[in-house]
Copies of this chain bind each other. A is one copy, B any other.
Amino acid sequence: MDRSPFEDYRRQFQPPVPAALAADHVTFKIGDPTESCEDQEQVKQFFPVTYGLPVLDMEIAEAPATPPAPIKMGVIFSGGQAPGGHNVLSGLYDKLHKINPENQLIGFIGGPSGLLDNKYVVIDADFIKPYRNMGGFDAICSGRTKIHTEEQFAASTATARLHQLNALAVIGGDDSNTNACLLAERFKADGLDTVVVGVPKTIDRDLMSPVGIDTSFGFDSATKVYASLIGNIETDCLSAKKYWHFVRLMGRSASHITLECALQCRPNICLVGEEVQAKGQSMEQVCQSMVDIIKARHQKGMNYGVALIPEGIIEFIPEFGVLIKELANIIGPAYDNGIIMTPEQVLPKLSEASQKVFAFVPPQFQLQLCTEPDSHGNPQVSKIETEKLLIAIIEQVLEADEELTSTKFFNTQSHFFGYEGRCVPPSNFDATYCYGLGQVAAILGVAQKTGYMACLRNVANHVSEWVPCGLPLTAMMNVEVRKNEAKPVIKKIMTDLSGRPFALFCSKREEWAQTDCYVNPGPIQYYDGEGPLRAVADRPTISLEEEARGRAQ
């Protein structure tokens, strides 16, 4: 990519680092042995080498008697992009170089497949320079290949052996870090000295740990992009007073992104998947709660509003999950025989409960659920534009409402924000956090610690108070059944319905629904000088701040 004047400016940013990372040498304060968060006995079976490791806190130390031998380390981006990835690379490179200028860093290209195919590039000072503080993963690109077959593990070992890799950093989400831990085990089993460390990446923020991960990188910047756009839309909404804007936000599983945007922007409606699931709400109930707000505002002459919707919301509705499974069993076999079924043909084959749910889905979406199965014959729920589905259902509900003489007051605009935020140049927070994470990963690599996640604790505070540490990957695991097989996986951290961010939202949402409490957070500011703009530019997410307040109490 060519660089804009903004990027030329931003590239000069020198992320501050906590004292332990600025120091020439660190030592590890070794904590107690850890346990996996659930299913301890089962997880232990899968990870004989890396299970039960202690948390490692890094502390400033004197120079060691014997300096560490030079190492060769590899790095991979795995999965979807998140702002700050390039700063993990620059942190890795800078720390490795500082520890020993003979240390080498290579980047595998295009994600895990680069490891399998031995496609790589040497990351040196000239290579990394144009990517400092830039968004994207384009320096070495990412990919979604999962290493799970015996051939793939063997290929990984072959590449690691070929390079005589001493360490490999895997920058990824829950699945990628589960894979990193399996690789750590495999390399040991194959007699390699290659240690594997993870770096917690995902804009979704469902990769956290009370022991070491306050937030995953990218969430700060991505939510700031989305919130700035929602703030603009709210301002537009209030200026024109003619539309309900339905905004779908990225995040298939957890609703962290949507909740954070709500806390920043104070919309009239915000759905939280975890709450819908916990309450066992039906599609009808979810929509009725929205209709109640729309009608209440209508009665006050306020025929406008903003609703935030996590993209995975319908999968959190229990009855909808049942419908999808039944549909798969009906349209799948037909599809295998080259037959696309119509909604009319499908309806009588559903259970009574699912018939009711299906009938509640507007015709064009019924059609979509039947006629666009994926190659496995499953309805493609992720292709449904949830915000449009909800609008269509709400229109039906309003039409059927006998209290209303007309539904003309309900005019809508729909939006989806996802790709817009994954590659924004990282905010001060993410640029600094990622640079630090890269340095921690380098230290773990040089110290030959395998099966660890590179972490920085206490990141809601000033960077001088951040605590670099290594967290055993197995400590975050539980066992889940995937494709009929029990598998150890890092447990996704969903929105905590008893946590402070959600409690704050609950305490305000009625007021936000009934009045106009909109806030426009503004676009990310990248200023790093002195003065009041610095506080604006450095402000972390509200979710992170609230959780830290909770812990401080």
> Which residue in chain B gives the minimum CB-CB distance to A77?
B239
> Which residue in chain B gives the minimum CB-CB distance to A225?
B232
Q: Is the CB of B520 within 8 A of A523?
A: no
> Which residue in chain B gives the minimum CB-CB distance to A522?
B6
Q: Mark A215-259, 1 if CB is under 8 A from B, else 0.
A: 000000000010011011111101111000100000000000000
CB neighbors of B among A418-448 (8 A)? 419-425
Q: Is the CB of B239 within 8 A of A142?
A: yes
Q: Is the CB of A536 within 8 A of B6?
A: yes
| A514 to B527 alpha-carbon distance, docked (Å) | 35
Q: Is the CB of A81 within 8 A of B523?
A: no
Asked if A532 lies at the interface with its beta carbon under 8 angstroms from chain B, I say yes
How distant is A413 from chain B, measured CB to nearest CB, in Å? Answer: 6
- Contacts of A520 on B, CB cut-off 8 Å? 1, 4, 6-7, 134-136, 423, 425
Partner of A420, one of B229, B518, B526: B229
- Contacts of A77 on B, CB cut-off 8 Å? 239
How distant is A531 from chain B, measured CB to nearest CB, in Å? Answer: 7
Q: Is the CB of B419 within 8 A of A239?
A: no
- Contacts of A2 on B, CB cut-off 8 Å? 266, 517-519
| A229 to B236 alpha-carbon distance, docked (Å) | 18
| A420 to B415 alpha-carbon distance, docked (Å) | 9
Q: Is the CB of B233 within 8 A of A532?
A: no
Given known pairs A10-B522, A239-B141, A523-B523, the reply for A1 and B234 (CB within 8 Å) is yes
> Which residue in chain B gives the minimum CB-CB distance to A139?
B239
Number of copies: 2
Q: Is the CB of B533 within 8 A of A9?
A: yes
Q: Is the CB of A526 within 8 A of B519?
A: no
Asked if A325 lies at the interface with its beta carbon under 8 angstroms from chain B, I say no
Asked if A516 lies at the interface with its beta carbon under 8 angstroms from chain B, I say yes
Partner of A419, one of B142, B413, B533: B413
CB neighbors of B among A511-547 (8 A)? 516-527, 529, 531-533, 535-536, 539
Asked if A315 lies at the interface with its beta carbon under 8 angstroms from chain B, I say no
Asked if A376 lies at the interface with its beta carbon under 8 angstroms from chain B, I say no
Asked if A502 lies at the interface with its beta carbon under 8 angstroms from chain B, I say no
> Which residue in chain B gives the minimum CB-CB distance to A238?
B138
Given known pairs A525-B526, A536-B6, the reply for A239 and B423 (CB within 8 Å) is yes
- Contacts of A526 on B, CB cut-off 8 Å? 522, 525, 533
- Contacts of A423 on B, CB cut-off 8 Å? 232-233, 235-236, 239, 520
- Contacts of A539 on B, CB cut-off 8 Å? 5
Asked if A108 lies at the interface with its beta carbon under 8 angstroms from chain B, I say no
Asked if A466 lies at the interface with its beta carbon under 8 angstroms from chain B, I say no
- Contacts of A419 on B, CB cut-off 8 Å? 232-233, 236, 245, 413, 415
- Contacts of A424 on B, CB cut-off 8 Å? 228, 232, 523
Q: Is the CB of B6 within 8 A of A525?
A: yes
Partner of A232, one of B9, B231, B234, B420: B420
Partner of A522, one of B7, B519, B521: B7
Asked if A549 lies at the interface with its beta carbon under 8 angstroms from chain B, I say no
How distant is A388 from chain B, measured CB to nearest CB, in Å? Answer: 11
Q: Is the CB of A536 within 8 A of B1?
A: no
> Which residue in chain B gives the minimum CB-CB distance to A80?
B240
> Which residue in chain B gives the minimum CB-CB distance to A264?
B4
Chain A interface residues (CB < 8 Å from chain B): 1-7, 9-10, 77, 80-81, 110, 134-138, 141-143, 225, 228-229, 231-236, 238-241, 245, 264, 266, 413, 415-416, 419-425, 516-527, 529, 531-533, 535-536, 539
Q: Give me 11 other A-B pairs in contact (C-beta within 8 A), A7-B520, A136-B238 excluded.
A: A2-B266, A9-B536, A136-B235, A137-B240, A141-B239, A141-B240, A141-B241, A229-B420, A233-B419, A423-B520, A529-B533
21 pairs from A and B in contact (CB 8 Å cutoff): A1-B517, A1-B518, A1-B520, A2-B518, A4-B264, A6-B521, A6-B525, A7-B519, A81-B240, A136-B236, A138-B235, A225-B229, A229-B229, A233-B420, A233-B423, A236-B419, A415-B416, A424-B523, A522-B526, A523-B524, A529-B529
Q: Which 4 A-B pairs have the closest CB atoms?
A: A6-B522, A523-B523, A136-B235, A235-B423
